[in-house]
Structure 1
Amino acid sequence: MTPEGLERAARMVADSGLLAVSSGAGMSRESGIPTFRDAMEGLWARFDPQELATEAGFRANPRRVWSWYAWRRERVLNACPNPGHVAVAQLAEIVPELVVVTQNVDGLHADAGSRGVVEVHGSIRRVRCLDRGHAFTGELPPYTEGEEQDPPPCPVCGSPLRPDVVWFGEMLPVDAVQRAWSLAGRCGAMLLIGTSGTVWPAAELPLVARRSGARVIEVNPHPSELTHAADVFLQGPAGEVLPALLAAIRTAAR
């Protein structure tokens, strides 16, 4: 991250009108939340993703899959937003309009104060029933490390509860996708944070924004598959770069 790059990015954000923020797993990693692959550690390292993140895997062994997600959910609920999440929420106070579109399922953007977050991969904090999609709002049993538990039944239809996340082979939520693509097509600038650029179709969002005339600013510790599409690349962790960007915008506005 150079002073010149930070200044250019600050001008782009300040002039954006509508700022779309697209965040990926790298942002959550700074809060101590492992990526999907990194979460397959310890007890879970011997399993294939197809066993833990597909409907077929859940139907074959609901106890195993539910327990893995319960373990991950406990880690999420014990995590805190990092300074990058907080900076994004504060940016919403100084630009005309800001909407966060995230691939992350942890809910940390909302915890930091962002409103109307578009979750294209769902949320690990929510559950719904497998067969009918009934939302469940009750209290879930706590997870004990190293143990497995059966998924509770849906109180409406008795179907087993499952995490409200997008598994391999499933469609993304239609409403979230439509809103995300609409924002990418209308925004004046897109802030791309902590994504590898390899998860599709979310990786298309900055390309949609760029084709529509928006400026793209990438924040990442290392170049990604989408760095070529960025007008400005701010190299570094989100927890350091985004507070600096926020400060630069505030300074320029004085």
Structure 2
Amino acid sequence: MGLEEARRRLREAKRVAVLTGAGISKPSGIPTFRDAEGLWKAFNPLDYATPEAYARDPKKVWAWYAWRIAKVREAEPNPAHYALARLEADLLARGGDFLLVTQNVDGLHARAGSKRLVELHGNILRARCEACGRRFPLPEAFPIPPSCPACGARARPDVVWFGELLPEGAWEKALRAFSEADLALVVGTSAEVEPAASLGRIAYTAGAYLVEVNPEPTPLTPLAHLSLRLGAVEGLEALYPLSSAPG
């Protein structure tokens, strides 16, 4: 009954907001952060993902990011990424509104075809100049650290580190979408990293039907109208079967 009700509400929804985390990219071979095999089990985030760590040793930080970038370049979007791109196309085709907010920095949602997308924590395939602020895509091979093509100054990864502000306008777009949604879908996130973790609660408080897809319970689970204890691919296939897609 719960799954059928969620499917019906998704078919009939006019405003859908989606939040994704590392779990949606795990089937593509991208390591997560907080599970038993996550990156933070092997690496201390204070050594690699803070402004202070970068100031201490930018080459060490960039070497770590270069390793992660190589993994991202090898990866391909998986069926969960494509399902959300189909959901967006379906909803927009019937005059609805949609926003996908991701905590991931791997760019796989865009590669799968998602267009109404907010990358809340930036994109690992870009760099940002420390002097002029220019953002630019990283080539296949780049020096460590890379230099800005505009002014020649050193560039840093274009991602949000612990203790930093989100990209300008990103949170406002996410907050508006989840505040106005009639259905909110949270996929593959531990719901522990703020402020993104609060988006599901905001949608629920505003009256949205809340669906969670995650193999393990999260702080969001007690609020969810439906919690699917599945991986992202299996959960989205159950919730939004291919037969539900347009065409």
TM-score by length of 2: 0.89
Unaligned runs of 5+ in 1: 143-148
Equivalent residue, structure 2, for 1:18: 15
CA shift digits 1:229-248 (9 cap, x unpaired):
11111221111121222228
- SS state of the match for residue 65, structure 1? helix
- Rounded to whole Å, the distance in 2 between the matches of 1:165 and 1:220 is 24
Query: Map of 1:1-254 to 2, 5 A cutoff?
Result: 4-36=1-33, 38-39=38-39, 45=42, 48-95=44-91, 96-137=96-137, 139=139, 141=141, 150-247=144-241, 250=244
The RMSD of aligned alpha carbons is 2.1
Amino acid at match of 1:58: Y
Q: 1:180 aligns to what SS in structure 2? A: helix
- Using the size of structure 1 for normalisation, the TM-score is 0.87
Aligned length: 239
Give me the whole-angstrom Cα distance separating, in 1, the residues matched to 2:237 and 2:100. Answer: 16
How far off is 1:138 after superposition? 6.0
User: Which of the pair has the greater relative contact order for Cα pairs under 8 Å at 6+ separation?
Assistant: 1
C-alpha separation between the residues in 2 aligned to 1:141 and 1:179?
34
Match of 1:93, SS state, is helix
Look up the SS of the partner of 1:126 in the other structure.
strand
* Structure 1 runs, 4 residues or longer, greater than 6 Å off: none
Q: Which runs of 5+ in 2 are unaligned?
A: none
TM-fit CA distance, 1:215: 0.7
CA 1:211/1:138 → structure 2, altered by over 3 Å: closer, same or farther?
A: closer
- The SS at the match of 2:123 is strand
Task: Please give the per-residue CA displacement for 1:93-117, whole angstroms capped at 9, x wherever unaligned.
Answer: 3222321101111111111111121
What amino acid sits opposite 2:7 in the alignment? A
